[in-house]
Structure 1
């Protein structure tokens, strides 16, 4: 004799199955945009829908999942641990589905540009030559020139597809691979170099450098600080006298005898070869800066992101 069933429980079970079947997969796309943007309003703008529609979809997803996904506050939306887990599992499939729809059905924005961020010297000297073939195939490119911390923040928020940075990314949802190792050089104009007696520079550096202004790429002295720790085993004792957010501008100032600086070796090689700059030290173990290629986990499913990622890795092996 079959066991008796409780009518109420059978009705509830059927309702649950119907509710699960009514889950709209498009809600996951909205969820990923909110997760990346950190804001319901920004996600609405990117999806070309209203903010109330975004709110309704996220609430629907939360009801289906039975957990809260975002905590909203005045400046945006903070993902909960449940949202972190869902994003980790959903981002790749959502991106892959977007690519399938675009490739086979023309769904999506076919003119959406590839958004890439990097330091200014890497964009011109390294990245554009590496992506030249893609650009000739009419792939659109938009670049952002900024410090590594800013670029990584924009990558996490979805404002960038790829970030080339000189800081090792340690962020949830971000995948990074070493792109290139490069030596750094401490340089000055010939007049300043002559003023720094070799014996004093060799035996009492960095004190011997204190009388000359520091010209830096950023207030935080990213390359200078790295050089000081690697060679002198201490941090710089002062803030920079001149800050110019472009390595070429930094080199122009140093050539004009404004002060001393640390730059990637490839940028100053020609100036050193023709005598416009002098490499002040040649450490037994030259300081090395590693450049990283960072993308959000799952974004590699986008064809343009995947191709650019591959080309940059291939070219990075040939950079000297």
Structure 2
């Protein structure tokens, strides 16, 4: 059996829910669900019954947890002993507020429990990359490809841009719909309009607020339409609180990168964070 799947099973069993286990493991809830399903298929038996809130283990899951739980705990103890030296130094990590909050920081929860000390800075990519080059940061999650010399750059994942509105909102004429954005230059909106409609946006923004989470809440309130990364509004789309205004065959995407200075890329604490984020990004 796959050790990662067993660890995920054990976390779900102890937490009583897929969502709570995802937080403990630093994974997304869909990734946890996929791993549990894969283990169930491997074993040929169901492990959990889905409830309105959380999950309930089957009798077989009770027996499996009794047999593998102590061994997984022992392995975790060995891992902790071996990694104490790894986190002797604090990691100074910068990135955009939204991606850091919803993607990067949850993925690093396991390392924090193992001893990682983390100091986080939020801001725009260009400013953060200057801080990285000048030694004020150790790692940067960047929404633009870093091109400075002396950096080691790792592509992490592609974020998909979606044009959304609140469910029940009526904007038959997109040219007249209020536009909500996080910057006057409409960076994501311009990229979406060029890719999907072949030209610039029809007008300037009605609301500008430098936080995509605030843009999301304004859209949910029915203030207008906006272009957002899908990961930021996936739950609201799934719940039917938001709707896609357009569904292009090839939605616009943007790559997120992880950058560090070449002189520290092999340091244990930097390597641990890089490897963890690279692995987690497969499920983003």
Q: TM-score, length-normalised on structure 2?
A: 0.65
Q: Structure 1 residues 282, 116: CA separation in 2 closer, same or farther (over 3 Å shift)?
A: same
- Is residue 274 from structure 1 mapped to residue 251 from structure 2 by the alignment? no
Structure 1 counterpart of 2:151: 174
SS in 1 for 2:265: helix
Q: Where in structure 2 are the equivalents of 1:6-17 lying within 5 Å?
A: none
- Report if aligned partners of 2:181, 2:215 keep a CA contact under 8 Å in 1: yes
Superposed CA deviations along residues 101-137 of structure 1, whole A, max 9, x for unmatched, are: xx7xxxxxx8652111111122122112221122112
- Is residue 251 from structure 1 mapped to residue 216 from structure 2 by the alignment? yes
Given candidates 120, 128, 135, the residue that maps to 2:105 is: 128
Given candidates 120, 140, 156, the residue that maps to 1:143 is: 120
Structure 2 counterpart of 1:295: 260
Q: Where in structure 2 are the equivalents of 1:100-139 lying within 5 Å?
A: 112-139=89-116
Q: Where in structure 2 are the equivalents of 1:40-55 lying within 5 Å?
A: none
How far residue 179 of structure 1 moved from its aligned partner, in angstroms, is 0.3
- Is residue 283 from structure 1 mapped to residue 248 from structure 2 by the alignment? yes
Aligned length: 199
Structure 1 counterpart of 2:273: 308
| Alpha-carbon distance between aligned partners in 2 of 1:138 and 1:124, rounded to the nearest angstrom | 20
- Report if aligned partners of 2:171, 2:177 keep a CA contact under 8 Å in 1: no
SS in 2 for 1:152: helix
Largest Rg, 1 or 2? 1
| Alpha-carbon distance between aligned partners in 2 of 1:111 and 1:307, rounded to the nearest angstrom | 12
How far residue 291 of structure 1 moved from its aligned partner, in angstroms, is 0.7
Given candidates 195, 203, 211, the residue that maps to 2:171 is: 195
Q: TM-score, length-normalised on structure 1?
A: 0.58
| Alpha-carbon distance between aligned partners in 1 of 2:186 and 2:134, rounded to the nearest angstrom | 26
5+ residue gaps in structure 2? 1-84
Superposed CA deviations along residues 121-156 of structure 1, whole A, max 9, x for unmatched, are: 221221122211221122211111112222212211
Q: Structure 1 residues 151, 212: CA separation in 2 closer, same or farther (over 3 Å shift)?
A: same
SS in 2 for 1:301: coil
| Alpha-carbon distance between aligned partners in 2 of 1:297 and 1:122, rounded to the nearest angstrom | 24
| Alpha-carbon distance between aligned partners in 2 of 1:269 and 1:285, rounded to the nearest angstrom | 18
5+ residue gaps in structure 1? 1-102, 104-109, 197-207
Superposed CA deviations along residues 25-61 of structure 1, whole A, max 9, x for unmatched, are: xxxxxxxxxxxxxxxxxxxxxxxxxxxxxxxxxxxxx
SS in 1 for 2:199: coil
| Alpha-carbon distance between aligned partners in 2 of 1:181 and 1:280, rounded to the nearest angstrom | 21
Q: Structure 1 residues 135, 162: CA separation in 2 closer, same or farther (over 3 Å shift)?
A: same
Q: Structure 1 residues 188, 298: CA separation in 2 closer, same or farther (over 3 Å shift)?
A: same
Given candidates 109, 120, 140, the residue that maps to 1:163 is: 140
